[in-house]
Amino acid sequence: MSDDSQPSPVPPHVPRPWTAQSVAVFLLVAGAFSIVSFLTLMMLTAVVSWWLR
């Protein structure tokens, strides 16, 4: 019961595990998504231009 009565030494604001690895993964995912969307847009434009002529 003594452990429950005393609060554990936890700082008021615990920083999130926002390490460089998670930032790199997020940038990789965002870059891949932007590249895929850009390629899809280019493919759609090429198909439409080829289909219209």
User: What is the spatial distance between Cα 21 and Cα 41, in angstroms, rounded to a whole number?
Assistant: 30
Locate the domains of the chain by residue range: 20-53
- Residue 23: per-residue pLDDT: 86
- Residue 18: per-residue pLDDT: 65
Q: What would the pLDDT profile of 24-51 be if each residue is shown by its tens digit?
A: 899 999 999 999 999 999 999 999 999 9
Give the position of tokens 């930032």.
23
- Residue 30: per-residue pLDDT: 96
* Residue 2 in this model has a pLDDT that exceeds 80: no
- Residue 20: per-residue pLDDT: 78
- Residue 49: per-residue pLDDT: 96
Give Cα 14 to chain centroid, integer Å.
21
Give the position of tokens 């289909």.
51
